[in-house]
Amino acid sequence: MSARRTALHAGAAGLGRLVRAQPIDQVPLGGMVDLPGRGSTYVTDSAAPGTPDADSGKPAVILLHSVTTTGQLCWYPSIPALAEHFRVITLDQRWHGRGILSDEFHLDDCADDVAALADVLGLDRFAVAGFSMGGGVAQLVAHRHADRTSAMVLCSTGPFFSGHPDSERTPGRGETIFTRFTHKQQPKLVVPTNHAALDDLSVPPGVWGARQFRSTPFSRYRRLNDGLNEFDSRDWLDTLQTPTAVCISTRDRTVAPSRQQLLVDGIPGARRFDIDAGHACCVMQPGKFVPTFVEACRSVVPAKATPTLP
């Protein structure tokens, strides 16, 4: 087995060990939702019909996950605490998990998927919160759908994902922070996933976590890298008027804190919240991440839900 393939297997196994530390009994389950003209994706909604929050009127927060994860895997430690205050929605972004598999992968399309999901759910306005790659998508939602974005929370992310220094601007194909994880070369290994098994919470947490992780096949990683590399919001950050909180993982070795700070400096009125943790703290260090994340959401998300679409 090649060194690259061995490293990727080890990464999946390591994720499984880490997930074992977190119980999965409160992982939200959802279903496939059709976004007209775009495709279908897997969605969870704390206010789905038949749930205790179905008619709560809580403001909606749409959670956007990191690269190679899923809505459930990235956010399941945060959802119970966040759902005490908000209607919490996740989706598998395109090319991930049970998300839309289009001809190309672009973060602009991911952002438009969010607005399309809000249409289906009857949400006129909504908040977005994104972790790592999801933070880039959240910025694009606020940029492309400003009239509908009530608030934004950005976590362990930056205004671009290029692997070059913060002072350089190199859009297009090339290295990103993601290629450091994938060792630059795209392995041919594809791990088939039984999607029906992704909702089986009777298995050990490590098995569930590995299934979620593997639901985004390694064969998609090169295309994901290209999509990340073309994103750069620095030219329009100062035009965003959305109330924003930025959760900075101060021990992050994937997205440097200095790059995360660019969001605080660039978005008018953005508030900084420090988390003494590394990257992937949303799953690996939830004890540090979740309380600060919930505080950040409560600081910018309107206290009352806005009227739904007619």
Q: 52 in a domain, yes or no?
A: yes
- pLDDT tens digits along 202-216: 999 988 999 999 999
Distance between CA atoms of residues 300 and 154, nearest Å: 11
Q: Residue 250 sits in a domain of what CATH number?
A: 3.40.50.1820
Looking at per-residue confidence, does 167 or 67 come out higher?
Answer: 67
Q: What is the domain extent for residue 190? A: 3-163+172-231+239-300
Q: What angle do CA 301, 63, 34 make, to 5 degrees?
A: 120
- pLDDT tens digits along 190-205: 444 678 889 999 999 9
Q: 84 in a domain, yes or no?
A: yes
Distance between CA atoms of residues 61 and 46, nearest Å: 10
Query: Mean pLDDT, to the nearest integer, of 136-156?
Result: 98
Query: How many secondary structure helices (H) and strands (E) does the chain include?
Result: 11, 8
Q: 101 in a domain, yes or no?
A: yes
pLDDT at 57: 85
pLDDT at 310: 52
Q: 308 in a domain, yes or no?
A: no
Q: 51 in a domain, yes or no?
A: yes
Looking at per-residue confidence, does 146 or 189 come out higher?
Answer: 146
Question: Burial of 192 by CB count in 10 Å (0-12 exposed, 13-18 middle, 19+ buried)?
Answer: exposed
Domains of the chain: total? 1
Residue % of the chain over a pLDDT of 90 = 71
- pLDDT tens digits along 247-257: 999 999 999 99
> Whose CA is closest to 48, among 65, 77, 28, 34?
28
Strand positions, DSSP E, the chain:
31-35, 39-45, 60-64, 87-91, 126-131, 149-155, 244-249, 271-275
pLDDT at 146: 98
- pLDDT tens digits along 35-55: 999 999 999 999 987 776 766
Q: Is the pLDDT of residue 18 over 80?
A: no
- pLDDT tens digits along 53-107: 766 789 999 999 999 999 999 999 999 999 999 999 999 999 999 999 999 999 9
Q: Is the pLDDT of residue 225 over 80?
A: yes
Average pLDDT, whole number, for the chain?
Answer: 86
Query: Mean pLDDT, to the nearest integer, of 149-155?
Result: 98
pLDDT at 191: 45
Instruction: Report residue 162's pLDDT band, with 50, 70 and 90 as the boundaries.
Output: confident
Q: 305 in a domain, yes or no?
A: no
Query: Does pTM top 0.85 for this prediction?
Result: yes
Distance between CA atoms of residues 237 and 229, nearest Å: 17
Q: 309 in a domain, yes or no?
A: no
